[in-house]
Amino acid sequence: MTTPGTAHGATPGRAAVEESLGRTGGLTSAEVAERVSRGAVNRLTERTSRSVGEIVRANVLTRFNAILGALFVLVMVAGSFADGLFGIVLVVNSAIGIVQEYLAKRKLDRLALLNAPTTRVVRDGEVRVVPTTEVVQDDLVELHTGDEVPADGTLMASTGLELNEANLTGESDPVAHDEGDAIMSGTSVVAGSGRYHASTIGADAYVNRIAADARKFTRTRSEIQDSINTLLTYITWVIAGALPIAIWSQWSTVGDQGWREVVIRSAAGVVGLVPEGLVLLTSVAFLLSAVQLTRRNVLVQQLPAVEGLARVDVVCLDKTGTLTTGDIAFEEARPLDGQDADEIRRALGALADDPNANGTLTAVAAAVASPGWERTQTIPFSSSRKWSAACFSERSTWLLGAPEVLLAADPQPSPPELIGTIREQVAELAGSGRRVVLLARSEEHLAAAMLPADITPVALVTLTEQVRSDAAATLA
């Protein structure tokens, strides 16, 4: 990993930097301005597509254009513009590819501008919300549930902080991070909170270096175009042999009319060997297909991509964001063994009244109002423990977590028939696609992340994935 001192060149006044890193008040406005002036800002000129120059070169510098262009130059040198009309095919064929790819580039560039997240930073002793692109090196970043990590760094403080690192590892399970752990940009907070200093930013950040490799342009392979190029390769050798013969023949026939007439007649004879219509009609067919796909909101970056789509026989797609919105919603709380339904809803509302609520409690908070209980202790959710808890003044301690964990932890088990019934209900609900958590109560005040000695199962809480309204149309 690039160190802060080398990410953007030598860093002057390192002693002052070290002093600022030790403060909890973050950088001062003067320190931020100094870093901005030397370019130590979390900006990235992200190329979402090829440049206009690259697009033009790719569509102009082709074998077909080289053959026909050479013959066109010969005719133009001879001064017969009327006989050089075949050059229009060059312009049209190149223009089709250039225009289509340029329009796709514009759409990609606009899409990149739509994403403008913000980040909480501590500056001059107060928390401020700034655009992520304005985070500077050594900024003290504050993370809460739902935030994205804007830059690489090392945690100074962690309160049950868990990150979703799927963008980096492909694994969606949350990963717990404690004080002193290194965290990477491109991850997001799913539980807890924390603070860290942004040491590696911009293009040097880990996720941006990965993205730079992923954005390396790879031309779409087209069997049709490969076949045409193979044909043109053979035609090139035929023309190389036929052109001298044509010139000799025309010189013998009309040599007395001057060299211009000889060149024009020789070029006209050889041009017929080039399959202009085949190449042009292939480009037109690709273009019409791309237009049809564009009308269906498909972004076609290269014309041959249409051919590749026609050869697809297996489509792989992810669920979240495609079929579901990525959010879960509270469905219901099923009381167990005659428990009071009103008390259950109040307890759920009190548990969800947490500024660092995870996804489950956030879904509960959207459906259940907070009763305003005074919270005295919070045990944040941890993917390793699989439960969270909260203690309230003059009230019971309430726990919410995986049923198998909370039921197995009871040192004085509830009646076996009740445990069996709960397990059956959990299996049935989970089998129907629901997410199931158990709400339990304890009279013990928790001082640490350890399950209490008395756990009473109170209710099964079910949550459901939110299916997108256009999921059926997407699959169709």
* Those residues with Cβ within 8 angstroms of residue 375's Cβ, 6 or more apart along the chain or in another chain: 350, 353, 354, 390, 391, 392, 393
* Rounded Cα–Cα distance for residues 445 and 456 (Å): 14
The CA distances from residue 381 to 10, 177, 359, 430, in Å, are 42, 13, 10, 20
Q: How many Cα atoms are found within 13 Å in the side-chain-facing hemisphere of 131? A: 10
> Closest Cα to residue 360, out of 391, 328, 403?
328
Neighbours of 299 (CB within 10 A): 13
H or E segment at 192? Answer: strand 188-200
* Rounded Cα–Cα distance for residues 466 and 464 (Å): 6
Helices (H), 255-340: 259-271, 276-295, 305-310
* Rounded Cα–Cα distance for residues 172 and 170 (Å): 6
Reading the block at residue 105, the tokens are 């580039």
Residue 200 three-state SS? strand
Reading the block at residue 300, the tokens are 């076609």
One-letter amino acid for residue 202 of the chain: G
200 near 4, Cβ under 8 Å?
yes
Residue 197, beta-bridge partner list: 140, 154
One-letter amino acid for residue 411 of the chain: P
Q: Which of 213, 256, 313, 318 does the annotation list as catalytic?
A: 318
* Rounded Cα–Cα distance for residues 149 and 189 (Å): 7
83 is catalytic: no
The CA distances from residue 420 to 333, 341, 404, 417, 463, in Å, are 19, 21, 11, 5, 22
Neighbours of 3 (CB within 10 A): 10
Reading the block at residue 254, the tokens are 């009309």
Q: Could you give phi then psi for residue 39, rounded to 5 degrees?
A: 80, 15
380 near 391, Cβ under 8 Å?
no
Residue numbers annotated as active site? 318
